[in-house]
Amino acid sequence: MKNKILSVFSLSIIVAGISVYSAWSAELTIYTYDSFNSEWGPGPVVFKRFEKECACKLKVVSPSDSGTVLNRVILEKANPKADILLGLNNSEIGKSFRYDLWEAYHSPLLEQVPVDLRVDKKYRVTPFDYGFIAFVYDSEKLNSPPQSLQDLLDPKYRRKIVIENPKTSSPGLSMLHWTIGVYGEEGYLDYWKKLEPNLLSVTNGWSAAYGMFTKGEAPIVLSYVTSPAYHLEYEKTERYQAAIFQEGHYRQIEFAGILKGTKHQKQAREFIDFMLSEKFQNVIPLTNWMFPIIQHQPLPDSFRIVPQPKTVQELNAVRVHQNNSKWLKEWSRAMSE
């Protein structure tokens, strides 16, 4: 009898062990861009929280910028390795729609997201944060900051502005779309030609541009409206400010979605819901330096330096996808004339 009890007992432990193990071993694979999952990004905090909540294990792959990660997913399409792709922005989702990557999911929490941020009406991708690109300036070197895109053309800013290249970086591309939004396809090249003498350098990516700015090489840089909040939070200084433009600012929204072919439908959906919950959203401002898509609590104190700009007419994702190559071609030719 005793023996029987013991064997039942041990059997049940084994069964329990196996079931716990299988629950834990249900690995959900998330692809994201590198800085999201760096030590200072939101990744380490939110992924851990999610693992606790779903009692499953996450495998996070974050090799490079969002463009590269998207390339990877598209190349893997026949034999998908990831369940979730997190971190595409509105200039990139057009491409992803073209390759039909997504498994649609309409999260119940999406109702809380402001209507104008729910861009995808087919629920293929779900937004998780947003921000605005803006010109950040050093208030010690610049007494009168520019107040509009038009102001940037003033000769007093000659060789004082650093921007990113639309051909190689995402803020640069957003800047191109910004000017197309404001001046239209007929007028944007004209604007850029006038801007050219004021540009010190057009860098390959945000890192080089912002590095040049903080190292005192140029007093104006193309970055995000939220950048000054970092300096206030960690460096206790209000020296760096974002210039707010009358024409309005171009908005970047970041999205995540479930990839077709996932074997973990349930957990993937749980993750999307989790992404909109406060456990994820509240971490965003101070780690990803963007606005949370749902404001569950007041923004951190350092965000007092961040003004809410007017949003400029956004370009439709499909239009962006169709015309991007043409725009880039025209732009690079116009700029090197």
Q: Quick check: 99 binds other proteins (CB under 8 A)?
A: yes
CB of 115 to other proteins, least distance (A): 30
CB of 27 to other proteins, least distance (A): 13
Sign of CA dihedral 83, 86, 90, 91: negative
Residue 209 or 312 with smaller CB distance to other proteins: 209
- What tokens were used for 214? 């903080």
CB of 317 to other proteins, least distance (A): 15
Of 12-20, 194-202, 244-252, 262-270: span binding other proteins (CB under 8 A): 194-202
**Binder among 30, 46, 56, 67 for other proteins (CB under 8 A):** 67
Give the binding-site size for other proteins (rule: CB under 8 A).
Answer: 68
- What tokens were used for 49? 């929280």
Name the packing angle between helices 43-54 and 265-276 (round to 10°). 130
**Binder among 112, 148, 150, 168 for other proteins (CB under 8 A):** 168
Interface residues for other proteins in 8-37 (CB under 8 A)? 34-35
Bridge partners (DSSP) of residue 136 are 221, 242
Neighbours of 137 (CB within 10 A): 26
Q: Quick check: 199 binds other proteins (CB under 8 A)?
A: yes
**Binder among 235, 265, 278, 301 for other proteins (CB under 8 A):** 235
Nearest to 116 by CA among 242, 270, 286, 291: 291
**Binder among 11, 111, 216, 263 for other proteins (CB under 8 A):** 216
Euclidean distance between CA atoms 286 and 332, whole angstroms: 36
**Binder among 1, 5, 75, 115 for other proteins (CB under 8 A):** 75
Q: Quick check: 301 binds other proteins (CB under 8 A)?
A: no
CB of 14 to other proteins, least distance (A): 28
Backbone angles phi, psi at 67, to 5 degrees: -60, -45
**Binder among 30, 95, 256, 293 for other proteins (CB under 8 A):** 95
Q: Quick check: 60 binds other proteins (CB under 8 A)?
A: yes
**Residues contributing to the site for other proteins (CB under 8 A):** 34-35, 38-41, 44, 60-65, 67-68, 70-72, 74-79, 81, 95, 99, 140, 159, 165, 167-168, 173, 196, 199-208, 210-212, 214-217, 227, 230-231, 234-239, 289, 324-325, 328, 332-333, 335-336
